[in-house]
């Protein structure tokens, strides 16, 4: 049984140019500005060629999501297995471009069932990975799992990062820089505590 056909390098390059253009439009003007015409104009081709590679706008949004999802999942897994899991996780979650793009995908998903289903699958898989890893990490940080269950920590990490980056990219004056600095201090203290606890265990 043969696997899925791989795109030729030239085709892959064209697809990536279309996805790059779609991302730029989403980040600069919002997901509602994405159309075959706007993407084609940014790439410098005729609109019908967009539909040759992506038959519908849903397919275009799904292409953006799928291209970003796999490497982001890999980066999250690497962060959770790093020397400073919570600190690395925060840096990943607080990335302005990645978070802003996800905000637009979420907004588009509210009106597009196919995209909503795919976003839901990615979110579910990532959250399960986070919670599974946190089930061990909570104790390493000296936290009470009954008071700070993994699901709460995961939701708080993602939710705070999401809110701060959203306000930052929108230019809202909500003291997001002060909040981000405070969050960084909290995580640094937790990482230092984890290091001390692990050293004691080795002694």
Mean pLDDT of 12-25: 96
Whole-model pTM?
0.85
**Stretch 56-65: mean pLDDT:** 96
Choice between 33 and 70, residue whose per-residue pLDDT is larger: 33
Q: Is the pLDDT of residue 201 over 90?
A: no
Could you report the per-residue pLDDT of 83-135, keeping only the tens digit for each?
Answer: 999 999 999 999 999 888 998 999 999 999 999 999 999 999 999 999 999 99
Per-residue H/E/C for 128-154: HHHHHHHHHHHHHCCCCCCCCCHHHHH
Contact at 8 Å (CB) between 151 and 128? no
The CA-atom distances, in angstroms, between 54 and each of 13, 36, 64, 70, 135 are 14, 9, 11, 20, 41
Residue-level length of the chain: 203
pLDDT over threshold 80, residue 202: no
Q: How far apart are the first and last CA of the chain?
A: 54
The pLDDT of residue 138 is: 96
The separation between CA 140 and the C-alpha centre of its own chain, rounded to angstroms, equals 25
Cα torsion 129, 132, 161, 19 to 10°: value is 0
Confidence of residue 8 (pLDDT cuts 50, 70, 90): low
Give the pLDDT of residue 170: 85
Name the strand (E) or helix (H) holding 110.
none
Question: Which whole number is the average pLDDT over 69-91?
Answer: 95
Mean pLDDT computed over every residue of the chain:
92
| CA-based nearest residue to 44, from 26, 17, 23 | 17
**Residue 26: CB partners within 8 Å, gap ≥ 6?**
33, 34, 64, 101, 104, 105
Res. 10 pLDDT band, cuts 50 70 90: low
Checking if the pLDDT of 1 tops 70, the result is no
Give the pLDDT band of residue 11 (cuts 50, 70, 90).
Answer: confident
In the predicted model, is pLDDT for residue 196 greater than 70?
Answer: yes
Q: Report yes or no: 90 and 157 within 8 Å, Cβ to Cβ.
A: yes
Question: What's the rounded mean pLDDT across residues 50-77?
Answer: 95
* CA 142 to the chain's CA centroid: 28
């Amino acid at each position: 049984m043969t696997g899925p056909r791989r795109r030729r390098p030239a085709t892959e390059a064209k697809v990536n140019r279309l996805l790059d253009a779609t991302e730029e439009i989403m980040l600069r003007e919002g997901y509602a500005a994405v159309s075959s015409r706007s993407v084609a104009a940014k790439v410098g081709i005729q609109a019908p060629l967009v539909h040759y590679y992506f038959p519908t706008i849903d397919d275009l949004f799904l292409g953006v999501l799928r291209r970003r999802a796999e490497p982001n999942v890999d980066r999250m897994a690497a962060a959770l297995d790093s020397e400073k899991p919570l600190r690395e996780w925060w840096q990943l979650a607080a990335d302005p471009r990645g978070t802003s793009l996800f905000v637009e995908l979420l907004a588009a998903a509210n009106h597009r069932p196919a995209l909503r289903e795919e976003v839901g699958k990615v979110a579910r898989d990532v959250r399960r990975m986070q919670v599974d890893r946190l089930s061990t990490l909570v104790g390493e940080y000296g936290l009470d799992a009954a008071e700070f269950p993994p699901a709460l920590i995961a939701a708080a990490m993602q939710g705070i990062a999401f809110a701060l980056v959203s306000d930052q990219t929108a230019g809202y004056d909500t003291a997001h820089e002060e909040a981000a600095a405070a969050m960084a201090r909290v995580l640094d203290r937790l990482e230092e505590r984890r290091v001390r606890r692990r050293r004691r265990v080795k002694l």
